[in-house]
A and B are shown apart, each in its own frame.
Chain A
Amino acid sequence: MQVIITVIGTDKVGIIAAVTTKLAALNVNILDVSQTIMQGAFTMMLLAQLPEAAAFTSTKAELQDLGTSIGVDVKIARQEIFDAMHKL
């Protein structure tokens, strides 16, 4: 299952490291990544592949817990929803 993970928050040291370390621990493969500062906010987007056996809900919960602990907003959604809205 391909997912889009977005990480938005106040910029500080170690956000990318914390998120990618967590993804590695969850065996989630990163396919594409983009990071920038948008309107003053740290904004990272990742296209990732969840392992076959991974439960979406528990992965989501782990990432949101991580977001809370490092003070950023982490969202994860299946990639098809973005294609549905924008691609003809």
Chain B
Amino acid sequence: METQQIKETIQMISEENLDIRTITMGLSLLDCITGDSKTTAQKIYAKITTQAAQLVPVADAIENEFGIPIVNKRLSVTPVALLAGSDPHPNFPLFAKAMDAAAKAVNVDLIGGYSATVQAGCTPADKALMASIPEALAATERVCSSVNVGSTRNGLNMDAVKIMGEVVKQVAAIDPVNAMKLVVFANAVEDNPFMAGAFWGVSEGDVAINTGVSGPGVVQRAIADRPDASFEEICEIIKQTAFKVSRMGQFVGKVAAERLHVPFNIVDLSLAPTPARGDSVAEILETLGLSHVGTPGTTAALALLNDAVKKGGVMAAERVGGLSGAFIPVSEDANMIKAAEAGQISLEKLEAMTAVCSVGLDMVAIPGDTPATTIAGMIADEAAIGMINNKTTAVRVIPVPGKTVGDSINFGGLFGRAPIMAVNDGDASSFVSRGGQIPAPIHSFKN
């Protein structure tokens, strides 16, 4: 009996917030397409409630038996824009309601996939889906939406970027909380288990289990014990810690898949913070020697963290996927909130950080009077970073009606609170209104 190892595992779980952040069942809805919205919606409900009926009971049993918290149980489904079939006037909000009702029936926390992938152009169904996002998110509680507007292979669909700037505004105008459920991506991945951006790509199988692990606190404690360590030593510590954390995701996912009699797909090795004390990615960066997140050096610190997490995790899991890296949401990270409130971190610094970590401008509250074209400009900037650097980037900003810099918004619970951050007040409207596609970059031509 290896008492030291047992003690380490128990300490990680009980004191350092190690958890399985999510078990996400990916579910194809392609076999629900009928061409008639009402019938398709019925088939969506039936398939989800049949296939995912045991997901939550199985996850709860694993949590009980193995003593590892499984924070979220989620579903990701085929991008809903593809489900219109031959229906010329698809009623997409009806699909959202069917997804919401099914998610509630099987008791999952969230369901992702109210999505369209439009990086190379929009079909009429894609356009209809994007236009319906404000209504769909307002009419449902657990449905999450995402739109992929660009990729390294396809370039940026600037028409879609402009539309999504407006959609983000419309969503937040109804209720800013709804904007938390909408992400605009470039290079979106098809097996991401994390929300709000999870969807189940068309190249995936019928059904499979994906897990996302987390544990910023575990990494922070490990490096806090070694204040004088060199960068090589720090990277080794992070790799070893990420390995152990990822093994949990591999193990739990495998057990869950076996019990549910479905294939096990991928482990997403992400450091996802929560506002809880000791569960902060920003705190890791500060422990590396920065007075606060946002200080010069922050991007380098984040780059080494993100890379070491990936290196440690890849050997721990049979198949790695999803976003796999460090997340830097503002409102969900206690030290990030602190830095934003103190004016120590700006949107521009966050943007630079997104070039080296796994996602993008995430959970950032901005003034309610920010023009849609400015939001479109932010989306275009992030998408360009993703396109040129061959990585996933995303924008999940929340223009909070009636609020401005100095105010804040409280989302409650795990979603935390966000100070309204200043946005450059220049005008991007002529740029984003040009229309068309920014072509794919030169390094995309690999054939």
Residue of chain A at shortest CB distance from B2: A86
CB distance from B240 to the nearest CB of A (A): 11
**Secondary structure dominating the interface of A:** strand
The answer to whether A84 and B250 touch (CB under 8 A), given A56-B65, A75-B10, A78-B66, is yes
A76 to B230, CA, bound (A): 38
Q: Is B64 an interface residue (CB 8 A)?
A: yes
Q: Residue B6 contacts which of A45, A56, A78 (CB distance < 8 angstroms)?
A: A45
Q: Is A80 an interface residue (CB 8 A)?
A: yes
Q: Which residues of B contact A77 (CB under 8 A)?
A: 65-68
Q: Residue B64 contacts which of A45, A60, A80, A82 (CB distance < 8 angstroms)?
A: A60
Question: Please, could you name 16 A-B residue pairs with CB atoms under 8 Å apart, sorted by A?
Answer: A6-B6, A34-B3, A36-B3, A47-B1, A56-B64, A56-B65, A57-B64, A80-B66, A81-B67, A81-B68, A82-B6, A82-B9, A84-B250, A85-B248, A86-B5, A86-B8
| Chain A interface residues toward B at CB < 8 A | 4, 6, 32, 34, 36, 38, 43, 45, 47, 56-57, 60, 75-78, 80-82, 84-86
A85 to B11, CA, bound (A): 13
The answer to whether A38 and B7 touch (CB under 8 A), given A81-B68, A85-B247, is yes
A32 to B244, CA, bound (A): 24
Q: Is B251 an interface residue (CB 8 A)?
A: yes
A36 to B8, CA, bound (A): 15
Apart from A75-B14, A82-B9, 4 more pairs, CB < 8 Å: A45-B3, A77-B66, A77-B67, A81-B251
A85→B5 contact, CB < 8 A:
yes
Give B79-96 interface residues, CB cut-off 8 Å to A: none
A85 to B6, CA, bound (A): 10
| Chain B interface residues toward A at CB < 8 A | 1-3, 5-10, 14, 64-68, 244, 247-248, 250-251
Residue of chain B at shortest CB distance from A1: B65
**Secondary structure dominating the interface of B:** helix
Q: Which residues of B contact A32 (CB under 8 A)?
A: 1
The answer to whether A85 and B9 touch (CB under 8 A), given A45-B1, A80-B251, is yes
A4 to B8, CA, bound (A): 13
Residue of chain B at shortest CB distance from A6: B10
A6 to B6, CA, bound (A): 9
Q: Which residues of A contact B244 (CB under 8 A)?
A: 85-86
Q: Which residues of A contact B65 (CB under 8 A)?
A: 56, 77-78
A81→B248 contact, CB < 8 A:
yes
The answer to whether A76 and B67 touch (CB under 8 A), given A34-B3, A45-B6, A47-B1, is yes
CB distance from B4 to the nearest CB of A (A): 9
Q: Which residues of A contact B10 (CB under 8 A)?
A: 6, 75
Q: Which residues of A contact B64 (CB under 8 A)?
A: 56-57, 60
Q: Which residues of A contact B66 (CB under 8 A)?
A: 77-78, 80-81
A14 to B427, CA, bound (A): 74
Q: Which residues of B contact A86 (CB under 8 A)?
A: 2, 5, 8-9, 244
A3 to B376, CA, bound (A): 54
Q: Which residues of A contact B6 (CB under 8 A)?
A: 4, 6, 45, 82
CB distance from B337 to the nearest CB of A (A): 31
Q: Which residues of B contact A45 (CB under 8 A)?
A: 1, 3, 6-7
A81 to B244, CA, bound (A): 11
Q: Which residues of B contact A43 (CB under 8 A)?
A: 7
A36 to B6, CA, bound (A): 14
A28 to B9, CA, bound (A): 23
A33 to B6, CA, bound (A): 12
A84→B248 contact, CB < 8 A:
yes
B251→A84 contact, CB < 8 A:
yes
Residue of chain B at shortest CB distance from A84: B251
Residue of chain B at shortest CB distance from A38: B7
A4 to B6, CA, bound (A): 8
Residue of chain A at shortest CB distance from B12: A85
B3→A82 contact, CB < 8 A:
no
Residue of chain B at shortest CB distance from A57: B64
Question: What are the nearest 9 A-B pairs in CB distance?
Answer: A77-B67, A84-B251, A81-B66, A86-B5, A32-B1, A34-B3, A47-B1, A85-B247, A85-B244
Q: Which residues of A contact B67 (CB under 8 A)?
A: 75-77, 81
CB distance from B57 to the nearest CB of A (A): 13
In this complex, the member of A32, A34, A56, A85 whose beta carbon has the largest number of chain B beta carbons within 10 angstroms is A85
